[in-house]
Structure 1
Amino acid sequence: MSADSSEAESSGCDSADERYASGLVSAKLTVVVGDTHFLEEKMFLVQSCEYFQALYRSGMKESRQEKIHLNGLHARGFLIALAVLRGEKPALDGDDIVEAIECAAFLQVASLTKHLINLIDSDNCLLMIHTAATFGLMDLYHAAALFIQNMYTDLEAEVKKSLPSELISYIESLTPSVFVAVGAHVTCGGADTVHAASRTICYLDEACNSWKVLTDLPLEASTSMAGVTALDNKLYIIGGVHGLHKQVVDACFCYDVKDDSWSRIPSPAQLRYNLSLVGVDGRLYAIGGEYERTVMSSVEIYDVKTERWEFAAHLPRPAAGAACTKTMSRIFVCLWRPMETTEIYEYISRKDEWHLVTTLIRHQSYGHCMVGHRDNLYVMRNGPSDDFLRCLMDCYSLSSGQWSTLPGHFANSKGSLFTAVVKGDSVFTLNRSMTLEYIVGGKNWKPRRQMKGFPRSGSVWTFMLQLPESLMLK
């Protein structure tokens, strides 16, 4: 093919795309689902839904009609899909879930599938997996199966009573998530092997009630004042310091449990330590931190697929070591503002903006750790000055916009609890003396079982990973 013909073909494609786009701008479409008529903008539907993208690129006669019928769907399911596409987070009951899954599968609405995944809990997980299997919504099917595997002790009897054998076999074939922890360690380059033996990442073998070594840190890696998080079953270490003068470590690392290997990844444009790091939807968010002892407000996002960092909207004010969490695919950070004020901000990715969600004011107390579980944010804070080691907790409901205080405190004589990670409908908390699992039930955390503490002093990062059996047997 000549260059001229290639250019002509390319020009023809561009013209077709331009005609395709221009035909959608400001155009309206009536979508008939059952007896219900929905009048929507064509561009909105095409940008949000693979079904309509394919329809309007196909050239079929339906693409030129002002009204189309979606046979076999329920109006309620389509209404839920529209709400999610507009950025809402609707709560769904049993019938809603079935119709939403049917709609997500038929129309290939990725954001609705993600919303359904975020709603999986102990009450609806069996319905989720069975319906997802029926309609072939595989991402939801896998997510529900993993949730059930992680809660299998509680759900096994109901699973074997309610689900067909092929679904049970798939659930039981999955590897459950394991509680993993790493302490603060500086780099260990050259011949300096002092403390090298303790530079390990460990996991809790719940059956044996003992901590076992998963892997050693790379010699160049530092977890001291670093950003550490797990994303898509990989562990990431960003930044950190070494030496008495807090020299920034410019090497960043990724640990892949699949092949038990470490690799280097690019460093952020702005070197930083004492940062907050959170992973959501294939991206790492490096939030705030310090550089040359100056606290920063800058934020960078690392796209795992493209392996590139990009700057995002700055925090409302500089922050180092800020409490940060994710839930429902949303990112939240705690910022302090004297006196005695903890503000919670959410990062809105589609707008690249930080929005103030709520404010918590408690006497002589600030939020030091935050964990998200479904539509609740749990903020752990120090006690007042006369009893600083007490760990108190407040709950903020994203759906109701209300604060409540959890009864009791969450510490013991060995120190306060400022790390927690979710597994199913449980939360694992940790300090040197014990690992404690709680069952989370709205406004209460009910202690379930106590296991061995993590024998490390200083800061500890915790997360969940699915470990291949070969790693746990080595």
Structure 2
Amino acid sequence: MKTEVMESSRCPHPGQESTCCQEAHHLRVTIDSSSFTVDKSLLADNCEYFRALFQSGMRECQQEEVRLQCVGVLGFLIMVQVLNGERPVLNDDQIVEAIECTAFLQVPALTKHLINVINSENCLLMYHTAATYGVWELFHSSALFIRDMYADLKEDVVTLPNSMMEYIESLLPSSYVAVCSHSPSTEMLGDLQRTVCYLDEDTQEWRVLTHLPVSASTTMAGLAVLENRLYIFGGVHDVSKKVVESGFCYDPAANMWTTICGPQQPRYNFTLIGHDGCLYAVGGEYDMKALSSVERYQASSGSWSFVSPLPCSAASVVNAVATNRIFICLWKGQGATEIHEYLPECDQWLLVTTLVRHHSYALYMVAHKDNLYVMRNGPGDDFLLCVMDRYNLSSGQWTAISGQYGNSKGSLFTAVVRGDSVFTLSRHVTTEYSIEDHIWRPRRHMKGFGRIGSIYTFLMRLPKATISLTGTPPGRTQDQILRVSPILSSQCSDHT
């Protein structure tokens, strides 16, 4: 891999480097005894160090060669790979040199790639090295990952300096959250079952986080978490399938709901995906017709816009985000399941792979590291069983996962991944599995959700003093109960 990158970065005309670099606006970068030729605009657009150098007006900005003393060859090569659109898998030595490189050259794309590949094997190395070099975005992201796996990593965490260990412990862990399918209610006929609940893992009980706004619908709606806020769009009022026009946002730090505008195209039975500051409303139905349109919501501006449509009309599109990349799963019939990736930078859907497996009616997908796990009901009489296949994004290979999951008391079709665990639930049981190479091994069983209907599940970082709305005192409104103390509010904003 190193040789290929070096060759592709070298000037294609040995002995004529100066002329070639000048004509093609290339720059020769020398590190120790190695030299590489890189597109000058690529460096200027992506590296703060080179941008400042080229704009300084100093003699160096006119030179055809720059010597770097502060970074290693390996880190620089990884940076070039990332800037060229590659997603290299990194070992420990490469991680350290890449962090050193992004620290000195200030390369946001490289920092983002490092964040995207944090896992249980490298999170402590990422955390400690990022602290050493002052890459604070990576430092914080690594700490959040460690916080979510604290019980599994505690023996290793205690070897860190006290200040670093205390920082991890100050963060809020991700909680497993669920909400059932509910139609809108009224103030006069309040429904105490219209609640969003979280799993208290200490007591292994489900507890109420908040009540849904009376006009919100989670029936055939789109739900997603973005920047630790829960968004609900669409949904229907009743069997007439009249769409709820407004959207709703719940902020656990303030423990408050706000009303926001819904998509331009009314839709139900659609998928909502949160990614990089945006929400994507994917496909769905309207007026009994399947849709192919996709809309993007910019959370910063509160505005919707249409983006590239799906390859075909589809409702209830299965999705997962792996290594910060959006993937969807389309069931094409005849047992064929297509996985497409959405590329935001060029607004394009790209066919990644096709799997042919017969199944009955249900399909689901989750991501862990650089793997996509596609789950489905078994065909024919085996529809109560869940079988699974894994697609590795790096190798492009499918693997059948051994074992069958689910039965009449449980299901994997609401799975959520946290660290190296996956949580699933049904009315009767909540199960945590440990994700291993070729099997998901049951880790513990907890109380089921106890509700009927479709269930949405997701992760959120919740305040330590979570407010329960169960049994709201008479004479007090929901808005009054939804207030939190300024101290709690500041703690939430500091540690999410």
TM-score by length of 1: 0.92
Residue 367 (structure 1) shift = 6.2
SS in 1 for 2:128: helix
Residues 1:418 and 2:432 aligned together: no
- For 1:181, the equivalent position in structure 2 comes to 178
Q: Is the CA contact 2:248–2:258 (under 8 Å) kept in the aligned structure 1?
A: yes
Alignment of 1:35-184 (within 5 A): 35-161=33-159, 163-184=160-181
Residues 1:375 and 2:373 aligned together: no
**From 320, 324, 327, the counterpart of 2:322:** 327
Alignment of 1:64-463 (within 5 A): 64-161=62-159, 163-189=160-186, 191-193=188-190, 196-365=191-360, 368-463=363-458
Q: Is the CA contact 2:359–2:376 (under 8 Å) kept in the aligned structure 1?
A: no
What is the percentage of aligned positions where both structures have the same residue? Answer: 53
1:33-70, CA deviations, whole angstroms, 9 ceiling, x for partnerless residues? 22221211111111222222222233232222211122
1 CA distance for matches of 2:382 and 2:458? 29
- For 2:3, the equivalent position in structure 1 comes to none
**Letter of the aligned partner of 2:196 in structure 1?**
I
Q: Is the CA contact 1:336–1:366 (under 8 Å) kept in the aligned structure 2?
A: no
**Letter of the aligned partner of 2:232 in structure 1?**
I
Q: Is the CA contact 1:236–1:255 (under 8 Å) kept in the aligned structure 2?
A: yes
2 CA distance for matches of 1:283 and 1:450? 35
Q: Is the CA contact 2:410–2:429 (under 8 Å) kept in the aligned structure 1?
A: no
Residue 25 (structure 1) shift = 9.6
1:372-394, CA deviations, whole angstroms, 9 ceiling, x for partnerless residues? 11100000101111121111111
Residue 266 (structure 1) shift = 2.2
2 CA distance for matches of 1:170 and 1:219? 39
1 CA distance for matches of 2:224 and 2:425? 16
Q: Is the CA contact 2:245–2:261 (under 8 Å) kept in the aligned structure 1?
A: no
Q: Is the CA contact 1:229–1:278 (under 8 Å) kept in the aligned structure 2?
A: yes
Gaps (5+ residues) in structure 1?
Answer: 1-23
Residue 124 (structure 1) shift = 1.1
Residue 365 (structure 1) shift = 4.6
1 CA distance for matches of 2:218 and 2:243? 11
Residue 293 (structure 1) shift = 1.1
1 CA distance for matches of 2:309 and 2:57? 44
1 CA distance for matches of 2:444 and 2:215? 37
Q: Is the CA contact 1:323–1:367 (under 8 Å) kept in the aligned structure 2?
A: no
2 CA distance for matches of 1:319 and 1:276? 10
Q: Is the CA contact 2:335–2:356 (under 8 Å) kept in the aligned structure 1?
A: yes
2 CA distance for matches of 1:421 and 1:364? 21
Residue 295 (structure 1) shift = 0.3
SS in 1 for 2:430: strand
1:319-358, CA deviations, whole angstroms, 9 ceiling, x for partnerless residues? 1001111111101111111211111111011121111111
- For 2:9, the equivalent position in structure 1 comes to none
Q: Greater CA deviation, 220-229 or 53-62? A: 53-62
**Letter of the aligned partner of 2:87 in structure 1?**
K
1 CA distance for matches of 2:82 and 2:209? 40
TM-score by length of 2: 0.88
SS in 2 for 1:408: coil
- Structure 1 pair 399–206 and aligned structure 2 pair: CA distance change class (3 A): same
Gaps (5+ residues) in structure 2?
Answer: 1-21, 470-496
- Structure 1 pair 160–361 and aligned structure 2 pair: CA distance change class (3 A): same
Q: Greater CA deviation, 197-206 or 300-309? A: 300-309
1 CA distance for matches of 2:299 and 2:23? 33
Q: Is the CA contact 1:160–1:168 (under 8 Å) kept in the aligned structure 2?
A: yes
1 CA distance for matches of 2:145 and 2:466? 21
- For 2:6, the equivalent position in structure 1 comes to none
Q: Greater CA deviation, 439-448 or 401-410? A: 439-448
